[in-house]
Structure formats: C-alpha cells, structure tokens
Amino acid sequence: MTEIVIHGSSFYNEDCIAGCQAHIPDASVDLIVTDPPYGIKGDTLHKHYNRNEAFVIDGYIEVPATAYGDFSRRWIAEAARILRPNGALYLVSGYTQLYHILDALRATELVEVNHLIWKYNFGVFTRTKYVSSHYHVLYYEKPGPGKRTFNLACRYGLQESAPGGGSLNYRDREDVWLINREYKPAQVKNKNALPTELLVKMLQYSSCEGDLICDPFMGGFSTARVALGLNRRFVGFELSSAAFEQGVALIQALTPGELLEQVRQPQKGRLSHQGHTWSETEISAVYQRYDKLRVEGVTKKAAFEILSAEFGRGRWALERILRRRGGTP
Ligand SMILES: C[S@@+](CC[C@H](N)C(=O)[O-])C[C@H]1O[C@@H](n2cnc3c(N)ncnc32)[C@H](O)[C@@H]1O
C-alpha cells in the first residue's frame, strides 16, 4: 500500500475495499463520484488472473464478469458505510453489469435520487443495430435527518432563459446530460477518463467548497483533479501502480481552486416571465405541477424554487396565483 498526501488530500495505491476499511471512518465522506471497472471481458479473464484475481490492461485493472456481483456488493457496502447521512453518490455504469450494481445498491440503505443518462459523442459504431452512446449515472443518497446538498442555482440562475425560450436552469437539470468525451491527441490520459464537464456538474450541484469527495476507482484521477480544482478535499484509491503514478503527477501539477474561475457562474437578473400577463394555460400548468410536486413529497419551499425555475416567475407571483384557487398553497 502507498499513501501519498498532496494539497492535504490522500491518494492510495491500493484495493479500494480493503483501503476503505483501513483508512476511512464511518460517515466521514460528503460525496462519492465514481466509475468502477466495467467487468465486460467475459469469463476468459481467468486465463490472465494474477494474485489479485485481476487483469491488467495498460494500467487499467479489470474485474472478471463472473466476480462482478460479489465485487459490486463489497465495494458498494463500503461506499454506503463511509458516506455521511444525507451524503450522496454518483455511480457511472454501462448497461452490461448494471443489474449487479442495482442489486448491490438495493442491499444498502442508500436510496435513489435520480437515474441520469449521460449521452456522449463517438458511440461504438455498428451496422446491424443501434449505436451505443450513453452511460447510466445512478445518483443515490444516504438517508439522514438533514438535507442532501443540492445547489439549485449553482450554474444557471432561476431567471435565466435560453435564446429560444425556456429556463436554462431547468434544462441543465433534466436527467439526460449531453456531454462530449474529451479528445486529447498526443496527451497521456486514461482511456476511460470521465470528461471534466461531467464531473464539474456533479460536484457543483452536490458539494460545496471544503467538502470531502471520494473516488474509490481513480483511474486517470479525473474526479480528484476536478475536486481539487473546485477547492474540495479528496480521498481516493487506484489499484494499478502505473495509473497511480501518472495520476499523482497530474495532481502535483495542479493548483487547488484553479477551476473555480473557469466554471460558469449563474447570472442574476430578471426572471424570464416576470411581469408578463398570466394566461389560463400557464395558470393551470402551475397548479398541476405544484400538486404533482407536493404529492411526490417535495417541500413547499423546494416546490416554489422548482416552479420558479420552470415558469420563470418569482415566488410571490406564484404564491398569489396558487392562492387564487382558494386556501393557502
Ligand atoms: C473505469 S476506470 C476509472 C476511470 C476514472 N473515472 C477516470 O476518469 O479516469 C476504473 C479504475 O478502477 C481501477 N480498479 C480496478 N479494481 C480496483 C480496486 N479493487 N480498487 C481500486 N481501483 C481499482 C482500474 O485500474 C481502473 O483504473
């Protein structure tokens, strides 16, 4: 096991299951963002097992398909243990082993918040079937007495409207994310690296500066780089020594907080529909949406924030309209 501390964050060249058990206390992590090995190489891996029962490909350690269910249950149980109450997990997975991941998540106390789809460019080209061009992102929460961090207007102000109409904030929070993979010719990179834009979005919505972020499968250290770049703290694991050494060099070269000035800031200003006359259609859409949100268990305050984002109206205007049908909203 090697532990390296850089910029106050800890990086372990170690199996994440044993590593979490040894180094990470219960309920100590605010957010986990991770992309576990895919387990897609079928059963032929047994020919190549080393003593870790793993297969090394260019600094990437794969898990055999036959071991994937057990492996998922063990690392996801650790993830659930180290998350603090109301902490969250983003788990990126392909389709092939998704059922194992879902089974493992259901065996924990974690609860689903959203099932997101990350749609990317450069899908796997096919001639006889559709092109595969998405990943699943499972966004889960550890139940707790407080509120999960969700920074509603961290990227787009509630009043910001798109050029053709509609709320930018609403669009940014739809559950299908179109984010391109990064193309970095002539640069050393982990071939499975998650794009910075994807990670920035997860971290902006679901964490605050100073929070502790964990990635049990660091690969090219993308989560770590974004976490430190956004002034979060970090702890993570990578089993491959080759990937670990490359990643450590990248972390040593960065300056904490360096991404903060590059990320989009929400614009403040007038709401898109503020001052516009209400149409009957809009009023009935507001009623329906509000009722649906409340039935789903959304708090009154959060429901107004959502309505404001979706309809481009201020809270008081929305309350006034809802009061018109009688009673207090
Ligand atoms: C899909 S990649 C992660 C890519 C990463 N998200 C990035 O953006 O670069 C999965 C990584 O997990 C590592 N790995 C496999 N088994 C592991 C284990 N038991 N503990 C820690 N890391 C492991 C692999 O070597 C690989 O680098």
Closest CA to ligand 1's atom 15: 61
Q: Decide: 116 and 151 in contact? Cβ < 8 Å.
A: no
d(CA 216, ligand 1 centre) in Å: 7
Residue 226 beta carbon below 6 angstroms from any ligand 1 atom: no
d(CA 131, ligand 1 centre) in Å: 25
Q: Decide: 115 and 136 in contact? Cβ < 8 Å.
A: yes
The DSSP output letter for 168 is H
Closest CA to ligand 1's atom 18: 15
Specify which residues 4 forms β-bridges with.
11
pLDDT score of 46:
38
pTM given for the model: 0.82
Q: What is the pLDDT of residues 113-126, one digit of tens each?
A: 999 999 998 767 78
Encoded tokens for 277: 């006359």
d(CA 117, ligand 1 centre) in Å: 21
**Minimum-distance ligand 1 atom for the alpha carbon of 194:** 8
Count CB neighbours of 7 within 10 A: 14
Residue 75 beta carbon below 6 angstroms from any ligand 1 atom: no
Q: What is the pLDDT of residues 182-200, one digit of tens each?
A: 866 545 445 578 999 999 9
The domain made up of 2-253 has a fold known as Rossmann fold (3.40.50)
Q: What is the pLDDT of residues 76-111, one digit of tens each?
A: 999 999 999 999 999 999 999 999 999 999 999 999
d(CA 60, ligand 1 centre) in Å: 6
Give just the sign of the alpha carbon dihedral 152, 155, 158, 164.
negative
Sequence-distant (6+) residues with CB within 8 A of 279 are: none
Picking from 217, 189, 202, 117, the residue whose alpha carbon sits closest to that of residue 155 is: 202
pLDDT score of 191:
57
Using DSSP's 3-state secondary structure scheme, residue 11 falls into strand
